[in-house]
Structure 1
């Protein structure tokens, strides 16, 4: 994992430009480099390996693209018009460091760069059909049906009760779809999509919800210094979470159930999927 994280950091450092005008490159690099668990790109690479590893350039580019989308979403989520947070990955948020307008533009530029990364000149390493597949997966997971839609529901739900089905739908969109897309983008880059995609899709869906349940647990059990972001902010903002709905112990049990579902989805996969299984364990047992 540490080796892969270093390689992802190198790829991001290469593909996120310093020379963007008027300081934009600096704010983009501040937002995405030197921090983060890199769970999404790690899932891309693990799934690509498990699916055959046929297009390593596709896996690399998909890993960078999905992390750019994730980083842009954090920049925008932290802004005063959204969650109004001051701390991210243990350092001041982008709007605190560079101002709100520059933060907005940095997020916009990273979102566009993600799709630029996925669409270089067609080659044997990254044919047009694979480029189109990767773009489609990432776009659908990022937009109204996925991350952006989930965030809209989240903002509209402050102070309002949600039943468990509505909460699950919100987090499936807000967090789960991008995690699931990471697995499917890896599978597409691996080359054996028809064989493994149903298993990987079920794995990604269960893992995506489990990630959010654990996030809700950590928000009330860990200090800001450990999380690298403001602890307890969902409770303070009166947002519905799995902990507020189920209680802490039941939320932990639900996370364990989802982890088991994720592993069961890979039951027919061989040892080539062991890195995916290991990442599922890391999601369940993470401390930040």
Structure 2
């Protein structure tokens, strides 16, 4: 994907997010907290992936694809707000700014996360008139990624267990939302969801290993808290396999994701997007190993 094309995709994601959260009725303080959670920046990896899949599948209903991207980012933002709470990571900073519970209070942070989960479904409901026969599949994908037994809530809950399987933890905490992004992008464009779920699952696994490497190396880009896995004794690819093993695992997951992308006019652009998004998350020397 060219830099221009990537920039266009990013602008489309930002426009979709702003359009779908604008005008939501909320008490003023909650509304400000929701805007802080959604509009404070970030790489927008998941909604960009959803739109990339939609384009690969023809993107015949762009408004529906945009809603899918915005819905995915609502769930992702909700997970970050809840992750940062004192009962979990107790993180004071997110993306270089005070986290939601620091800026707005713990009670409003809990409600912000809750509101964003509900808002993800509201966004899809807003475009129900153009979704037609595609909406049930989209709703099923979104709900599976949010709850139990393999969604965000399950992944967060695994951190409360004495032990947790690394693959299952990664699949729920990170992979489920990437799977949903792939499925939503495909369903929004009338494509086959199963193959894009597989791509999303592999991409999610790669991204979680990258996050584990990031955490282990203490790379606090954009104010992201690090060292949390060791502090809370959570499953981590680096602690399980060492740094070299984690890099090898990341590369394998990334290659699997790229190999799973079906052929088509936009396949190369999507492959480039995946490599670019994964590589920019890592130190330059590790990114070079992954792209080699």
TM-score by length of 1: 0.90
Alignment gaps of 5+ in structure 2? 1-5, 283-292
**2:215 paired residue number:** 219
> Are positions 1:61 and 2:67 aligned together?
yes
**1:3 paired residue number:** 8
CA contact (8 A) 1:210 1:283 kept: no
Distance 1:213-1:104 versus aligned 2 partners, 3 A rule: same
The DSSP-based 3-state class of the residue aligned with 2:89 is coil
CA distance in 2, matches of 1:39, 1:174: 15
**2:285 paired residue number:** none
> Are positions 1:248 and 2:243 aligned together?
yes
- The Cα of 1:273 is off from its aligned counterpart by 1.9
CA distance in 1, matches of 2:166, 2:139: 28
CA distance in 2, matches of 1:79, 1:2: 32
The DSSP-based 3-state class of the residue aligned with 1:84 is coil
- Counterpart pick for 1:141 among 142, 145, 149: 145
Alignment of 1:64-143 (within 5 A): 64-120=70-126, 122-123=128-129, 125-127=130-132, 129-143=133-147
Q: Following TM superposition, where does structure 1 have runs of at least 4 consecutive aligned residues deviating by more than 3 angstroms? A: none
**2:272 paired residue number:** 278
> Are positions 1:186 and 2:190 aligned together?
no
CA contact (8 A) 1:13 1:29 kept: no
- The Cα of 1:121 is off from its aligned counterpart by 5.9
CA-based RMSD of the aligned residues comes to: 1.7
**1:210 paired residue number:** 206
CA distance in 2, matches of 1:177, 1:121: 23
TM-score by length of 2: 0.89
CA contact (8 A) 2:169 2:235 kept: no
**1:238 paired residue number:** 233
